[in-house]
Structure 1
């Protein structure tokens, strides 16, 4: 694996690739394998290429970091070129993503991917994408067709990503529906509480309904909400008591949790602290007198990275920012007048229905091809609510649990919204685009060059009458959705009086909002929102540098809340006494050099396991729930009914120190946070294959921790950072070409390419690239001309 500040020697790559040749994984001979693989995989980035399907020539200028600046005479040609460069640089990623959506991983990865395919086929992500395509606006369809033509024109060039060589297959031509497929997986990753319902059902069955507040603490009263009470459209809130949950046998709960396990293998799972930050500051609060807008979505950190930076200039389309390979639009960024950023709202848009005996069910048959093995037939049953996800088609597995989810319903027009944002010239255009948005619901912040700012949380959010969706409910017809919150009544504000909107996946609205976006446990802990509010309130006038400092902040407010409780612990050993002394002197900043920060995160990790006696070894509580237990002398502090919170604190500190000694040795004075806390941008297919992982994975020490603004939560049990700020941007509406952005890894997908990971060092160090449309800011360039 790569490490910060050290380049792997080229002979290492050649030797490893030679080994792959010997093993028959690459179709070339001897020491020439390395050069052969580069020659057959690296795309052409200079000169002239024929690209049938274009209306006129297009110039693609790649800057010093491999970011393409596309200049075309029409919007269709600009998007064609985006598809072309996406496939050039990220062919494997695009094919893998569509295979995930289709549930076709076992075709190329074999039997180990069968469980993932079963999950994906049962939920029906690809079927949902197919149903969405006919509902899109004519402009969107035209641009998707142009994008598809561009992808296939690049594929026709004959360059083949290393992954295709290693796995021995040829990707199929791109289809229009493939540009909608990945959005369905993103909706799963960001858009529901299925996993929370499964956990809550387990909690209620073992601890009673009162156990919910112990294991998953509700959002604290008085903590920051995105909108204030005076920004709400109405002041009458509809009551929503906790759902009464029918009992589910352990076997049914295990079947539901199997879907979660399959999702985790794909990197799609709920993670405490996973989320995003964004904010917009009006000109009344900035040095320039014009708005500043910042965004950093926190998602899985993979190799290649999710995002692909790009600059598109057509006849009307003029946008720059972060795209996602496979999608024909800038997802987060700006055009020549408007900037936008997104974070996850996480309203409750999923419900589990326990279908009564006799409920009419439809069936469909899915055939899963498995590499090297016979095909597998999967029978999926569906009720009127959605697919039955508690079995694999058998009738004797107990209660049948169906999933209802907005993203699986037909006529999803979210792609209209994202393309519409690229064209928006003002708040009216912006909100009209968002009115087409379905899932996953996002907190959009807005700013324009005229000085206006705003916020909108679009998407289909169900209206539930008399229940809150936090637990599975009966499918007998008494707990049905009553439509969706009307777009005009979704949370939003335009030119707020205080000149500031901050979102960090925290609770969106205070008491008084007339609808229920979700129950009190839906929201992220308030620490990031509180810290951003502190940082942006320190100066009367804010600058671009202040935005940087806020995005990169590693001050732990979690430590602030835990400090007095932890320092009162009775030490159980000399090492514990030394650890407490280190913590007493700690300033709370989670840098790579800190030792006290390592001690705190390790101790917190041990404390987060306090519910395992009751709920199983995979249960990890969030920090807010742990804090409430310690403050209130909660029942979960006891072990098998014995002990108290004081004893737990002593025991858990000793356990944390023992774990660190195992990992780092007995000399505590040599320990640092960065020794264990390292970003793990791993390859989705080869990240765990020992012969290949070193070539495809990327690792380096990183700052930040649990619920810091620069989110870098240590993975439970490994301390790795697997989620974080996958992309950062800061847009200056006073001079848009002074804006900044950065990805977590690099533009190229191939590990052999020069831009595979050249952004990672800057990303860790808190540096940025120029988010500029001006050639003078691009550094050394290479120009590729695409000819019709």
Structure 2
């Protein structure tokens, strides 16, 4: 995020001096890790034992509420700035502390109403959930009252307000945005249709390939035959939409840019992997469950590993600072993992002239400047995100957004708390019946040997297209549409009809954001262009099905870390047929011949391939403008057919495009790594980049927080590591890894991208990073024998009338 780049060098120097003063004179920001502290709001004693990696093992004696209280306390101890920054994003209150540079972000956040959606969600939750959230909130506030504030608060010279229950829900709305939207794809789709025609839509946004791996087979679909949708029509034939005027498109692009500056961008190849293997296929005879969600890298890291136990709550895994409970992990009997389903749950509607709108004024406070008043309007669909009077009839119209995550009655927190307590498949599915957004692929395993899969969440049923799908003349969600009777949401797919399977016959469920249902079934989850390319799913299946012996945890770990590129496999014949135009291109092409596609840190070929692919992914920019990047699948389709997108300045055919892009790619690599292609080592070019939200773009001090390390992998490898255009940095990655062994839960392992701490001078700020890069893990164990060197902080209830 570049919100602070407007600071002058004088302020840079001042910030450095303040940092030095805090570092050497005052270390009060370090959390209290041992001893005893009395806290108001506890009903009984709680011990917090941090292990050798800083993971807290919480043991509450009196109540589960006390366990969540302690989780809130340790979250705030280690990650208070992260929590503060996240809630200010959700509230649209960044300008209060960062100044007017943050106004575009605040305007976007207030217009969409993320925090208002969180406020509307709280009353819908069960009494148990509200009690646990309130306990967590009390724990956060107890830590704030300790007055051991992180460095960021001191540099920006403000103190955090008290935490609220709504704050504990608000960040989940931003995560739903990051994982559950395709409105930007609708804008790209419209640009394609406007400039190239509807027939070109599949060239830029290709549908999921026929015959590619799907999560469920036709035999595994747990739907009555009479309710199974029929075959899908050709995607381009049913595309219908409304052309947005240039000024409306510009307003929407401004909001996309604001979201991207906050780390919420629809990056090609972003996704996750998870799978579950039945005991019939494992050496132990019990299931193995693996998960590695791929999200934006940040400093501190997104996740916080924790072991939380009360009298009945026993959960360990990945938590999110600011949110109570374990999001991904296990309890004593059940394990679960998640990846993104990518259903189409967002639509842009063009309201009729004079449509009924409600209005409110949002007041944005700006540091050092007058308040800014922002008019926000909503239609029956949702927030008005653009306006224009430049339609063909010159009438003023609003463009509004309908999205499941902004609707009232969001009970997703009930679902996650239910997972923490689940003892079997029945409990698991009962919990998921409350799930709303973002829709996820949940894999399941239990100690009794059962495995399963469910894809919960609200998925709209669109009028004119059957159950959320598209007929040849229907509405498939690819483009903005008019607000009329033919374009409405008529409800949501019933929970029992969502894709699921329990104990599949082949003992294996693999998800990698790929299509859920097989060919021959209408894409009832929405737009056929939403799913990720099939390469990760195909490679995982190759690795797991290709083992001749029963699978072990080590086999699963090796699959998670696999860096063989199936994209290279498919593009190889076309790339190797290129005609080089210079000596450097000739050398590079020679190095690619015979390459096995393994993108290790020591690979030279990975640098050449990814640099070349990066150039090829820009082939549509002369037709559609800068910012439009093709997927590797779209590139492949163009090369296979000598497609029209190959043609442009300096290239009349795909063959000429290949030669030109190879020249540009090798020129870039030579400028970065020297003129000897044999020295173009991938690890010298490709680094993870974990960036601090507020100060990560302030050049003079960004080094204090930002972290990077050379990394393997590339575009659509299982260990996903797509390089960013221009920098070759890896900004999205497996943000957390877990492998859960149901034969002995304490032999399970997990790891994060950086470390548990939020203090950049602390020992646990980035101690996990080398382990994460190298594929090592730490024990996901509730047994003290596995924790290594420990420190224990005892929390006890404050006596009535006692002072802190």
| TM-score calculated relative to the size of structure 2 | 0.93
Rounded Cα–Cα distance in structure 1 between residues aligned with 2:520 and 2:125: 35
Query: Match for 1:70 among 58, 80, 84?
Result: 58
Kindly indicate whether the alpha-carbon contact (under 8 Å) linking 2:229 and 2:521 is maintained by their aligned counterparts in 1.
yes
State whether structure 2 residue 21 is matched by structure 1 residue 23.
no
Deviation at 1:519, TM superposition (A): 1.9
Moved more, 190-199 or 288-297: 190-199
Kindly indicate whether the alpha-carbon contact (under 8 Å) linking 2:82 and 2:300 is maintained by their aligned counterparts in 1.
yes
Deviation at 1:691, TM superposition (A): 1.7
Rounded Cα–Cα distance in structure 2 between residues aligned with 1:181 and 1:305: 19
Deviation at 1:512, TM superposition (A): 5.1
Deviation at 1:787, TM superposition (A): 1.1
Deviation at 1:250, TM superposition (A): 2.0
Structure 1 segment 32-47 matched on structure 2, within 5 A: 32-37=21-26, 39-47=27-35
Rounded Cα–Cα distance in structure 1 between residues aligned with 2:613 and 2:408: 43
> Are the structure 2 counterparts of residues 374 and 498 from structure 1 closer, same or farther at C-alpha, using a change threshold of 3 Å?
same
Query: Match for 1:307 among 287, 303, 306?
Result: 303
Structure 2 partner of 1:265: 261
State whether structure 2 residue 469 is matched by structure 1 residue 461.
no
Structure 1 partner of 2:325: 329
State whether structure 2 residue 375 is matched by structure 1 residue 366.
no
Give the number of equivalent residue pairs: 768
Deviation at 1:195, TM superposition (A): 0.9
Rounded Cα–Cα distance in structure 1 between residues aligned with 2:12 and 2:561: 43
Structure 1 segment 144-543 matched on structure 2, within 5 A: 144-232=133-221, 233-235=223-225, 236-237=228-229, 242-391=238-387, 399-465=397-463, 466=465, 467-511=475-519, 513=521, 516-539=524-547, 540-543=549-552
> Are the structure 2 counterparts of residues 476 and 32 from structure 1 closer, same or farther at C-alpha, using a change threshold of 3 Å?
closer
Rounded Cα–Cα distance in structure 1 between residues aligned with 2:397 and 2:553: 56
Structure 2 partner of 1:565: 574
> Are the structure 2 counterparts of residues 676 and 682 from structure 1 closer, same or farther at C-alpha, using a change threshold of 3 Å?
same
Rounded Cα–Cα distance in structure 2 between residues aligned with 1:393 and 1:387: 18
Rounded Cα–Cα distance in structure 1 between residues aligned with 2:523 and 2:625: 35
Rounded Cα–Cα distance in structure 2 between residues aligned with 1:519 and 1:22: 51
Deviation at 1:642, TM superposition (A): 5.5
Deviation at 1:417, TM superposition (A): 0.4
Structure 1 segment 616-631 matched on structure 2, within 5 A: 616-631=625-640
Deviation at 1:20, TM superposition (A): 7.7
Aligned to 1:750, the other structure's residue is in SS state: coil
Kindly indicate whether the alpha-carbon contact (under 8 Å) linking 2:133 and 2:324 is maintained by their aligned counterparts in 1.
yes
Aligned to 2:385, the other structure's residue is in SS state: coil
Rounded Cα–Cα distance in structure 1 between residues aligned with 2:673 and 2:649: 31
Structure 1 segment 95-174 matched on structure 2, within 5 A: 95-174=84-163
Aligned to 1:230, the other structure's residue is in SS state: coil
Deviation at 1:641, TM superposition (A): 9.4
Root-mean-square deviation over aligned CA pairs? 1.8
Kindly indicate whether the alpha-carbon contact (under 8 Å) linking 1:252 and 1:398 is maintained by their aligned counterparts in 2.
no
Residues 474-508 of structure 1 deviation map (CA, whole Å, 9 limit, x = unaligned): 01232001100000000000000000000000000
> Are the structure 2 counterparts of residues 757 and 619 from structure 1 closer, same or farther at C-alpha, using a change threshold of 3 Å?
same
Deviation at 1:747, TM superposition (A): 0.1
> Are the structure 2 counterparts of residues 571 and 25 from structure 1 closer, same or farther at C-alpha, using a change threshold of 3 Å?
closer
Aligned to 1:40, the other structure's residue is in SS state: coil
Residues 106-165 of structure 1 deviation map (CA, whole Å, 9 limit, x = unaligned): 111111111000100000000000000000000000000100000000111110011101
> Are the structure 2 counterparts of residues 529 and 753 from structure 1 closer, same or farther at C-alpha, using a change threshold of 3 Å?
same
Rounded Cα–Cα distance in structure 2 between residues aligned with 1:352 and 1:234: 33
Aligned to 1:187, the other structure's residue is in SS state: helix
Deviation at 1:231, TM superposition (A): 1.4
> Are the structure 2 counterparts of residues 493 and 24 from structure 1 closer, same or farther at C-alpha, using a change threshold of 3 Å?
closer
Deviation at 1:252, TM superposition (A): 1.6
Deviation at 1:520, TM superposition (A): 1.7
Structure 2 partner of 1:722: 731
Residues 246-271 of structure 1 deviation map (CA, whole Å, 9 limit, x = unaligned): 11122221211111111100000111
Kindly indicate whether the alpha-carbon contact (under 8 Å) linking 1:381 and 1:393 is maintained by their aligned counterparts in 2.
no
Rounded Cα–Cα distance in structure 2 between residues aligned with 1:398 and 1:103: 27
Aligned to 1:255, the other structure's residue is in SS state: helix
Aligned to 1:582, the other structure's residue is in SS state: helix
Rounded Cα–Cα distance in structure 2 between residues aligned with 1:779 and 1:671: 40
Rounded Cα–Cα distance in structure 1 between residues aligned with 2:88 and 2:571: 44
Kindly indicate whether the alpha-carbon contact (under 8 Å) linking 1:25 and 1:167 is maintained by their aligned counterparts in 2.
no
Kindly indicate whether the alpha-carbon contact (under 8 Å) linking 1:133 and 1:177 is maintained by their aligned counterparts in 2.
yes
Rounded Cα–Cα distance in structure 2 between residues aligned with 1:91 and 1:748: 10
Deviation at 1:35, TM superposition (A): 2.5
Kindly indicate whether the alpha-carbon contact (under 8 Å) linking 2:215 and 2:510 is maintained by their aligned counterparts in 1.
yes
Residues 394-433 of structure 1 deviation map (CA, whole Å, 9 limit, x = unaligned): 9999642110000000010000001110000000000000
Structure 2 partner of 1:49: 37
Query: Match for 1:781 among 782, 785, 790?
Result: 790
Rounded Cα–Cα distance in structure 1 between residues aligned with 2:461 and 2:541: 31
Aligned to 1:679, the other structure's residue is in SS state: strand
Query: Match for 1:752 among 754, 761, 780?
Result: 761
Deviation at 1:355, TM superposition (A): 1.0
Structure 1 partner of 2:778: 769
> Are the structure 2 counterparts of residues 393 and 614 from structure 1 closer, same or farther at C-alpha, using a change threshold of 3 Å?
closer
> Are the structure 2 counterparts of residues 255 and 332 from structure 1 closer, same or farther at C-alpha, using a change threshold of 3 Å?
same
Rounded Cα–Cα distance in structure 2 between residues aligned with 1:342 and 1:654: 41
> Are the structure 2 counterparts of residues 135 and 438 from structure 1 closer, same or farther at C-alpha, using a change threshold of 3 Å?
same
Structure 2 partner of 1:694: 703
Kindly indicate whether the alpha-carbon contact (under 8 Å) linking 2:211 and 2:519 is maintained by their aligned counterparts in 1.
no
Deviation at 1:581, TM superposition (A): 0.7
Rounded Cα–Cα distance in structure 1 between residues aligned with 2:643 and 2:511: 31
Structure 2 partner of 1:651: 660
Kindly indicate whether the alpha-carbon contact (under 8 Å) linking 1:301 and 1:723 is maintained by their aligned counterparts in 2.
yes
Deviation at 1:218, TM superposition (A): 1.1
Kindly indicate whether the alpha-carbon contact (under 8 Å) linking 1:364 and 1:381 is maintained by their aligned counterparts in 2.
yes
Rounded Cα–Cα distance in structure 2 between residues aligned with 1:515 and 1:486: 16
Deviation at 1:752, TM superposition (A): 1.2
Structure 1 segment 654-669 matched on structure 2, within 5 A: 654-669=663-678
Aligned to 1:352, the other structure's residue is in SS state: strand
Structure 2: gaps spanning 5 or more residues:
1-8, 466-474, 798-804
Moved more, 228-237 or 150-159: 228-237
Deviation at 1:535, TM superposition (A): 0.3
Kindly indicate whether the alpha-carbon contact (under 8 Å) linking 1:575 and 1:657 is maintained by their aligned counterparts in 2.
yes
Aligned to 1:77, the other structure's residue is in SS state: helix
Kindly indicate whether the alpha-carbon contact (under 8 Å) linking 2:210 and 2:519 is maintained by their aligned counterparts in 1.
no
Rounded Cα–Cα distance in structure 2 between residues aligned with 1:621 and 1:428: 42
